[in-house]
Amino acid sequence: MLSKINRFGVRLVYVFVTLCSQAWADDFEFKQVADGIYVHHGKHLDIDDGYQGDICNLGVIIGQEAIAVIDSGGSKHTGDQLLAAIRRISPLPIRYVINTHVHPDHTYGNAAFQNGTTHFVGHEKLATNMLLRKEQYEKLNARLLGADGAASPTIPPDTLVHAEQTLDLGHRILQLQARKVAHTHTDLTILDTQTNTLFAGDLLFAQRTPVVEGDLKGLIAVLEQINQQPYSLIVPGHGLESSDQKTIIGNELRYLNLLLSDIRTSIKKGISMEQTMDTAAASEHDNWVLFDIANRRNVNVVYPQLEWE
């Protein structure tokens, strides 16, 4: 009798754990944006205000033989949620985790995909940059995310893209391109040739204020280069995907060019960087989320660079 009760208890625990796991995965929303392509949209939270490791877009591309993940989130916890959500839609092996650039909100979910068979893919400079920033980013994650951050080690890529590279998921070819210095020094774009869908990473923002860490003029040049080829759908690093290429790229170029022009004007007139933070690209204020904090940071990065033009 006791053994029957024990077995019944075990079954109850199993059902409870399964239901909790399902609910945990279900809470992590996926949107199918094209045939075999899913996107999880991160929240528009600043990294210093309410950041929970889930602020950027995470993509999944499913071929006939395997799956590729595009960015993995800001912690192992977010990566675990992503993995559970993937398993709701496909049992295929995850062959690649592709990081679009070095920033921690895109890379620290990698730890959830360490299994001995999944390859981590990135720009040729990504591994070096991740290791150089390892201590800084791991301390940041621990401070902002507590136990979730402490449980999220740095996992650099084992496969580096030096210029262009193709990956095959089984009758589904991805074209990867390492970009010149733009948003960062490590930007990588991914094109799904089957649907002509471009994952632009943080080269492109929608709704949320674009961020410049690398080189503003380089970012403008890369976006103009991307815009020379038509795409059926573009998935930005933050914000909603769009089939309206003219608008989604045009909005960011408008902001970036105005930022460039206003900072140059301030420098020419001898206006300080601190004053310029309040005035540069001010007319764009109502067009973007988190404009006040992100725009000031952009001025802080770009102003010293342009002083040496």
The answer to whether the pTM exceeds 0.85 is yes
Task: Return the pLDDT at 44.
Answer: 93
User: Is pLDDT above 70 for 161?
Assistant: yes
Express each pLDDT in 210-234 by its tens digit: 999 999 999 999 999 999 999 999 9
Which domains are present in the chain? 25-306 (3.60.15.10)
Residue pair 201/237 in contact (Cβ under 8 Å)? The answer is yes
Q: What is the pLDDT of residues 99-153, one digit of tens each?
A: 999 999 999 999 999 999 999 999 999 999 999 999 999 999 999 999 999 999 9
| E strand map for 74-134 | 94-98, 119-123
169-214 pLDDT, tens digit each: 999 999 999 999 999 999 999 999 999 999 999 999 999 999 999 9
pLDDT at 294 over 70: yes
User: How are beta strands 58-62 and 37-40 bridged, if at all?
Assistant: antiparallel
Residue of 78, 158, 172, 89 whose CA lies nearest to 118: 158
User: Would you say residue 4 has pLDDT above 50?
Assistant: no
Question: What is the arithmetic mean of pLDDT over 29-46?
Answer: 96
